Amino acid sequence: MRRPEHDRSAPPDAAARRAVEPVICYPTETLPQPDPSRTQRVRDDLTEIARTRVPPRDGSSIRVPRGHVLRILSVDGPQVGDLNLFAQENLSERFYSGKTRALHGSHVTTGDRLWSCFPYLRPMAMIVDDSLNWYGVDEWGGRVHDVIGTRCDPYTGRLLSGRDYHHCCHSNLTRALSNATGMPLHEAETHVHDVLNVFMCTGFTRDTGQYFMKASPVRPGDHLDLLAEIDLLAVLSACPGGDCGSEHSSDTAPCYPLEMVVLKPADEVLDGWQEPAPSPYDRSHGG
């Protein structure tokens, strides 16, 4: 029987409708998998070839050749980083936070991959080590390294507080990308995209479903290691929120630097290293 049009009370079969079991949107068993022995051999013998320091409330960039490891390292104090990834030779191929979330979940760790946007949709990097893997999930549902958040930015800051603040991650990433490529700021800004929130501890509240953050468990020496599957340009902002335990978009929180280190595996591991093929729908690669 149809209910009156304006009746918003729960229907008689509400409990039965809620009791339907969920299904995973994107089961990942059929994803193309990298050779696990090669992934292990990469980690066996790593030599540092480049390093850059990301100053607090600022950004920096580094180029990572395919087959090399990008280590994002906590130094000095607990600090969250906002990461953008680009294909070195084609800035329009960039990290796709939303699809990475749909495939691997709201937070990523060892074994998960970071995917590029359409029409490419291929793994840009694979997480091969995460020193915060022990954290798991806390009593509020908080986890580390999210692909939920967008990045702190001056637009939302102004909307909510009426104030201007230009050391947000969005602004830091824009300046660092402009420095890396020589593009003017207004052009670089159009390439900045939703981030991987490195070391950030976040979740959604059970009652209102709101995005929450809490002080990151990261400590100096902690690191997240990404194996570059294609030649990457990595751009990182040291968030003005510091450990993101209180607020961002201001100069209030204690902030620390982060470092990005490029580690080269043994030559024989790199010999014949193939990039993952982009989607056949990508015509720029001759598909």
Residues making contact with Zn ion (CB under 5 A): 152, 169, 239
Of the pair 95, 120, the CB lying nearest Zn ion is at: 95
Of the pair 169, 269, the CB lying nearest Zn ion is at: 169
Contact indicator for 118, 78 with CB cutoff of 8 Å: no
Least spacing, CB of residue 67 vs Zn ion, in Å: 30
Strand 232-238 relative to strand 59-64: parallel, antiparallel, unpaired? antiparallel
CA 194 – CA 94 distance, rounded (Å): 10
Least spacing, CB of residue 130 vs Zn ion, in Å: 20
Of the pair 84, 178, the CB lying nearest Zn ion is at: 84
Least spacing, CB of residue 56 vs Zn ion, in Å: 12
Print the SS3 string covering 243-260.
CCCCCCCCCCCCCCCEEE
Least spacing, CB of residue 38 vs Zn ion, in Å: 34
Of the pair 233, 239, the CB lying nearest Zn ion is at: 239
Task: Give me the phi and psi of 217, to 5 degrees please.
Answer: -75, 0
Of the pair 157, 265, the CB lying nearest Zn ion is at: 157
Least spacing, CB of residue 151 vs Zn ion, in Å: 6
Give every CB contact of residue 9 below 8 A, 6+ residues apart in sequence: none
Least spacing, CB of residue 78 vs Zn ion, in Å: 14
Task: Give me the phi and psi of 81, to 5 degrees please.
Answer: -125, 145
| Helix ranges (DSSP H) in the chain | 14-18, 36-44, 97-104, 154-161, 169-181, 185-189, 267-270
Of the pair 46, 108, the CB lying nearest Zn ion is at: 108
Give every CB contact of residue 258 below 8 A, 6+ residues apart in sequence: 53, 54, 72, 73, 74, 75, 79, 81, 198, 236, 238
